[in-house]
Amino acid sequence: MKQCYIHIYVFDLLQPSVHNDTLGSRQDSGVTMTGRWRLSLALLLLCVQSSLPSVLTAASSYQFTAYRMQQYHLGQQKHGCRGAIVVAEARSADEPVLTRRCVVMKVSDLTTEKYLEAQRQNAAAIFILLPQNTSNLPFDTVQSFMVSESEVLQRETLIPVYVVPEDDQLLCMYEEVKQAAASRASSIFVRGDIRCFVLWFQGVLPGAGLDLPTIIITAHYDSYGLAPWLAHGADSNGSGVTILLELARLFQRLYSNASTRPQYNLMFSLTGGGKYNFLGTKKWIEENLDHAESSLLHDNVAFVLCLDTLANSDALYMHVSRTPRPDSPMHSFIQHLEEVVSSRFPWVGLEMVHKKINLVESTVAWEHERYSLRRIPGFTLSHLEDPKSELRGSILDTMSQVDFRKLKRNGVIIAESLARFMFNLSDKGTPKEVQVFKGHMDFQDSRLSSLMSILTSVPRATQLLDKEPRQMLLVNSLEHEFRRYLLQVHRHTFRQDKRDPEMTFFDQMNQPVMMYRVKPAAFDLFLGGCIAAYLGIVYYAIQNFGYLYTKLKSVLKTKHA
């Protein structure tokens, strides 16, 4: 419409000259000067207006939020991406030349091979588009991405890696990139380092008597993934936390009645830093063993039951560092566990996995290994056999990975086994099919769903728990649940020594990014040539206006004749 409007405006400027020319030759000189300037102005406006659509197109932009791949140092090992600044031209991962380009890919595009190829070619950055609803992704795609994500997190890279939630604009940009259209993404970031912040909670249900053995039930509550702001950790380890909180509610009812209070102290513990070598568990043990004058850990600990990733699969694995002695409480509990599974859930596979602790390695595989290093018996119960499973740290570990029926079943198995062990029901001749927790004492579906929804409503990455309001509210909610059902509840905060930290996180993980849609460089050359041609025409018209005016005048006279 603007071009059409200008053409009409040029015609109006020419009209007075034609009209005055028919009135007489005495006005020719004035009309010629006026028409000359008006024609020059019209041509200049036409030149400028013709270039406006391209300028507007080149200036079009879109702002979105990107989440940087996490960066941290665990001891002497460095993980994550060190780069942050991105000013590069977008390209698809399928293109052969990626040097100094921003590689844009979907979840289905990310493979270890493509990631290493982008590193080899010194790509400027990698942007991964994450679907809003990951439950619609095919199972093979989810598994492939989790494997690649796990391998990427084990390496340190200088290339900035960002995860971006998909929207219509970004999907449109992705399709343009796939069609070899050019895009540009830029952003400037400020980086800083923060020290590790670890929390743990503990609460106790005291048994009937003095100097009783203690059973410890523990789980780590933090999440882990490629981008901390997108790591919600539903199965790992929201499932372990959910079962632990439900166990606290159920056993509180047993302990609240003197006639049903067993001769065991039951301690519940939630720790942070579980995804980072179980640093919270390590500090909790040190605090209770090395610095506390009185602690339940100083007394007789029957065993430690660690809950980790229990919301899926029909298999359960008992991970131990050493085979329990036949006369030990842990061996007896495992026998009760096998009885409950065989009598009530025969389709569930229960298997013991023995893995010795390698003292040469700087990291441990499971949480119970932290206790085993201090000669405290314990084991981890999980539906994962491999401690390096990609499911333990993925941004795709969302509610879609949770099977609430299996989550409830695993919780029932643990609760029934604990009750049979603490009340010694097998030796008393109680049938294996007897249910201790039933009716109002059963696991509540609505509560399991609510707890899991709360835990996955915000990312629980360790880097975020001490500074983001929503994460701090979640931590306070966990403490409230402990105080509601348990006694002697303590909340501990640990900050590392700045002079010699065991772990260092790096800040600024979610930033606004500007995407500009521009024409290719060849178009700028073409546009420059067009502008030069217009200016040449204008210059020629001004210099030869008398000749052009004479010709135009003769043409108009011929038409009127």
What CATH number is associated with residue 131? 3.50.30
523 or 285, which is more confident: 285
Single-letter code of the amino acid located at 509? M
Please check whether residue 105 is in contact with residue 127, taking contact to mean a CB–CB distance below 8 angstroms.
yes
429 and 335 in a single domain? The answer is yes
381 and 470 in a single domain? The answer is yes
Residues 298-346: tens digit of each pLDDT: 668 999 999 999 999 999 999 999 999 999 999 999 999 999 999 999 9
Lowest mean pLDDT among 18-32, 490-504, 507-521: 18-32
State residue 93's pLDDT score: 85
State residue 394's pLDDT score: 93
Could you tell me the residue range of the domain that residue 43 belongs to?
Answer: 2-60+528-560
User: Percent of the chain at pLDDT above 70?
Assistant: 82
439 or 383, which is more confident: 383
117 and 145 in a single domain? The answer is yes
33 and 101 in a single domain? The answer is no
State residue 514's pLDDT score: 76
State residue 194's pLDDT score: 41
Residues 184-215: tens digit of each pLDDT: 333 333 333 444 456 788 999 999 888 899 99
Position 10 pLDDT exceeds 50 = no
94 and 171 in a single domain? The answer is yes
- Residue 427 CB-density burial (10 A; 0-12 exposed, 13-18 middle, 19+ buried): exposed
**163, two tokens:** 């995860």
Phi-psi domain of 196 (left: phi exceeds 0; alpha: psi -120 through 50; beta: other): beta
State residue 39's pLDDT score: 46
336 and 206 in a single domain? The answer is yes
Residue 313, in any domain of the structure: yes
Position 11 pLDDT exceeds 80 = no
Residue 500, in any domain of the structure: no
State residue 71's pLDDT score: 84
State residue 487's pLDDT score: 94
225 and 322 in a single domain? The answer is yes
290 and 419 in a single domain? The answer is yes
Residue 503, in any domain of the structure: no
Residue 244, in any domain of the structure: yes
State which H helix or E strand residue 474 sits in: helix 469-485
Position 40 pLDDT exceeds 90 = no
Q: How many domains does the chain have?
A: 3
Position 90 pLDDT exceeds 90 = no
Please check whether residue 397 is in contact with residue 237, taking contact to mean a CB–CB distance below 8 angstroms.
no
pLDDT confidence bin for 549, thresholds 50/70/90: confident
State residue 278's pLDDT score: 92
pLDDT confidence bin for 154, thresholds 50/70/90: confident
352 and 406 in a single domain? The answer is yes
Please check whether residue 398 is in contact with residue 233, taking contact to mean a CB–CB distance below 8 angstroms.
no
